[in-house]
Amino acid sequence: MRVLVGMSGGVDSSVAAALLRDEGHEVVGVTLRLWGGESDTGCCSVSDVDDARRVAQQLGIDHVVFNFSDDFAEHVVDPYIDAHRVGLTPNPCIECNRHLKFDRLMDRADQLGFDAVATGHHARIGHHDDGRPRLERGADRPKDQSYVLHMLDEATLHRVLLPVGDFTKDEVRALAQRLGLRTAAKPDSQDVCFIPTTQGRRGFLEDRVPFTPASVVDRNGSELGTVTAVELVTLGQRRGLGLPGGGPVRYVVDVERGPHTSTPKVVVGDADALLTNAERVGQVTWVHGPVTGRVLVQSSAHGEPVVGDITVDDEGIVEVTWHLRQSRVAPGQSMVLYDADDCFVIGGGLVLPRR
């Protein structure tokens, strides 16, 4: 089988390519050039491209670089900027997986005659009793990445390989060490790849989004302080609000802004003020089609799944009703639905603002 392996320059994708090579597949490594601006971390940096190329040389496989920078700007960077402008909290890595590492790369693989696309994500592809593929959690639960791959539908799963999903991270590193791969001890990337660590989110956005100051008030409307950029405030945030120390812990429980608000306000309260009985989720993608009833719901990449019941309205909006009240999730973040046994992904979408 001809397999195009996405090689980010990290240890997981390096080992994925090695495993497929050793299985006898015709393997070609590909690194995506995504961000044309300054970068010092993640899979967008020059050093990562070089690491991927050198690992391919060590493995004796061909390596190519695809320039998808225009698509990356359109589908990842610009929406990231726009989300902050309107008060959402985006997850750019999920959008990169959705639009670049699978949709766009799969299209290119089709054009070049490859049978499958592989990545180094820690997740597994299993099958239902009727043979339909499903996206399952990785063997290494703390490193499981099924959350960030929830958008993969049945047709895509038929053509995706996830070779390291059956291994723990320690086993992946040990295998890379035995193979002498230069990425064996390379640390995982944790940051947004197109934002330099020296610049940070504020530095990246301040030249792209007009910042708006806002008052910080308690739930009774009493002013407690100010923030210089309401666009950087996230629901549930408790640091960086300019509040004096020594008092009770306060969280952002609401952000009042928009055309009907003369002066933006950041409302803070205690942890109980964040609790809710339900959330609404839009732009939902399903692996096999809409599902209703009892599910497990995960609201962050490494969060614990929580029991809830879901319904779907005529517009495709999912309402999640919690069995026990949960802290609200920032609008714009992804909420992923798993089966009741917490084995495989059902679907997922973006948390909507309160009406």
φ, ψ of residue 179 to 5 degrees: the values are: -80, -10
**Could you read off the pLDDT of 161-205 as tens digits, one per residue?**
999 999 999 999 999 999 999 999 988 876 788 888 888 899 999
* CA-based R_g, the chain, Å: 22
Q: What is the pLDDT of residue 38?
A: 65
- Residue pointed to by tokens 């996830």: 162
Region 127-147: mean pLDDT is 97
User: What is the rounded distance in angstroms from the CA atom of residue 336 to the CA atom of residue 177?
Assistant: 34
- The CATH class that applies to domain 275-351 reads mainly beta
Region 125-133: mean pLDDT is 96
Is 343 part of the annotated catalytic residue set?
no
Is 44 part of the annotated catalytic residue set?
no
Provide CATH 2.30.30 ranges for the chain. Answer: 210-269
Is domain 2-121+162-179 annotated with CATH 3.40.605.10?
Answer: no
User: What is the rounded distance in angstroms from the CA atom of residue 164 to the CA atom of residue 153?
Assistant: 20
User: What is the rounded distance in angstroms from the CA atom of residue 71 to the CA atom of residue 33?
Assistant: 10
Q: What is the pLDDT of residue 242?
A: 83
Provide CATH 2.40.30.10 ranges for the chain. Answer: 275-351
**Could you read off the pLDDT of 276-293 as tens digits, one per residue?**
999 999 999 999 999 999
Least confident of 105-109, 149-153, 182-186: 182-186
Q: What is the pLDDT of residue 317?
A: 97
- Mean residue pLDDT across the chain: 93
Region 298-313: mean pLDDT is 96
φ, ψ of residue 329 to 5 degrees: the values are: -105, 140
Q: Which two tokens stand for residue 88?
A: 């959402």
What sign has the CA pseudo-torsion 84, 286, 69, 53? positive
**Could you read off the pLDDT of 213-248 as tens digits, one per residue?**
999 999 999 999 999 999 999 999 999 898 877 778
Q: What is the pLDDT of residue 246?
A: 72
What CATH number is given for 210-269 in this structure?
2.30.30
Q: Which two tokens stand for residue 233?
A: 């405030």
> Quick one: which of 111, 112, 106 has its CA closest to 62?
112
For the beta carbon of residue 246, count every other beta carbon within 10 angstroms: 5
Q: What is the pTM of this model?
A: 0.93
User: Quick check: 154 pLDDT over 70?
Assistant: yes
**Could you read off the pLDDT of 22-67 as tens digits, one per residue?**
999 999 999 999 987 666 555 556 788 899 999 999 999 999 999 9
Residue 258 pLDDT class (50, 70, 90 cuts): low
Our measurement of the distance from residue 286's CA atom to the centroid of its chain's CA atoms, rounded to an integer in Å, reads: 16
Q: What is the pLDDT of residue 126?
A: 97
Provide CATH 3.40.50.620 ranges for the chain. Answer: 2-121+162-179
Q: What is the pLDDT of residue 39?
A: 61
User: What is the rounded distance in angstroms from the CA atom of residue 256 to the CA atom of residue 87?
Assistant: 10
Q: What is the pLDDT of residue 146?
A: 98
